[in-house]
């Protein structure tokens, strides 16, 4: 895939909802967008609402070389797809651990690896939507924080490894953001959810914009 226009290209995983969707809104005026998510029809409709966009429909766990075939240059790769599985060590089984690490960490590593040639070709950048949970853990948060600590290890390593190749790496660590994931967390906590009380997805997207535009 090469941009059908002369716009730089941004691939955003998790663009169907929440933070990823807000990042798509933010980058739409300046980038050709590849919109990640699992529902191809919904992504097609979303793509039609932007000046220049197309679906990148895929369960991130199933990315292969053929998923990225044709992406020869890539200016921005945003990893926003993620899941939150809350529960104590006593409660959560192997599948909960495995699913979270597969989506939040292993898929990020794999998609990055598959796209590094295109990122190097463009002198592009990788932006990971991490979390405050990439620095802190607590009761019920071992799985989620574990994945986000690991994601920080990944991005810290990648930043050093790719410095000489001209690929920049940023890690963004928001607090609580008003998305479906936040509603899930409130359910787990047994608290009433009030979206207006939390960071808005568009505000996180502004942080991504800052990273994208920085020299």
State the residues that interact with ligand NAP by CB under 6 A.
13-14, 16-20, 37-39, 59-61, 80-83, 103, 129, 131, 174, 176-177, 179-182
- The answer to whether the CB of 204 falls within 8 A of the CB of 129 is yes
CB of 105 to ligand NAP, least distance (A): 10
Does 144 participate in catalysis according to the annotation?
Answer: yes
Q: Choosing from 50, 144, 188, 193, which is the catalytic residue?
A: 144
Within 13 Å, how many C-alpha atoms sit on residue 207's CB side?
19
Q: Is 42 exposed, middle or buried (0-12, 13-18, 19+ CB in 10 A)?
A: middle
Q: What does the alpha-carbon distance between residue 128 and residue 40 come to, in Å, rounded to a whole number?
A: 23
Question: Which residues have a Cβ under 8 Å from the Cβ of 194 and sit 6 or more positions away?
Answer: none
- The answer to whether the CB of 5 falls within 8 A of the CB of 187 is no
Q: Which is nearer to ligand NAP, 21 or 122 (CB)?
A: 21
The tokens of 93 are what? 């089984």
CB of 82 to ligand NAP, least distance (A): 2
Q: Which is nearer to ligand NAP, 18 or 140 (CB)?
A: 18
**What Å distances lie between residue 144 and 193, 194, 215, CA to CA?**
20, 22, 32
Q: Which is nearer to ligand NAP, 36 or 122 (CB)?
A: 36
Question: Which residues have a Cβ under 8 Å from the Cβ of 185 and sit 6 or more positions away?
Answer: 84, 86, 176
Q: Which is nearer to ligand NAP, 19 or 116 (CB)?
A: 19
Catalytic residues: 144
């Amino acid at each position: 895939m090469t941009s059908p226009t002369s716009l730089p290209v941004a691939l955003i995983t998790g663009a169907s909802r929440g933070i990823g969707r807000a990042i798509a809104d933010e980058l739409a005026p300046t980038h050709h967008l590849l919109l990640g998510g699992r529902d191809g029809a919904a992504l097609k409709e979303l793509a039609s609402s932007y000046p220049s966009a197309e679906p990148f429909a895929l369960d991130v766990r199933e990315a292969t070389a053929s998923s990225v075939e044709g992406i020869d240059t890539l200016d921005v790769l945003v990893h926003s797809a993620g899941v939150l599985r809350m529960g104590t060590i006593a409660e959560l089984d192997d599948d909960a651990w495995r699913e979270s690490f597969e989506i939040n960490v292993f898929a990020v590593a794999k998609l990055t690896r598959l796209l590094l040639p295109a990122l190097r070709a463009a002198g592009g950048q990788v932006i990971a939507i991490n979390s405050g949970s990439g620095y802190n853990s607590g009761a019920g948060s071992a799985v989620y924080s574990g994945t986000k600590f690991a994601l920080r290890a990944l991005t810290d390593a990648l930043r050093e490894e790719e410095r000489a190749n001209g690929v920049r790496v940023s890690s963004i660590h928001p607090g609580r953001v008003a998305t479906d994931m936040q509603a899930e967390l409130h359910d787990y906590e047994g608290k009433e959810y009030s979206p207006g009380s939390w960071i808005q997805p568009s505000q996180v997207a502004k942080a991504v914009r800052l990273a994208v535009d920085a020299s």
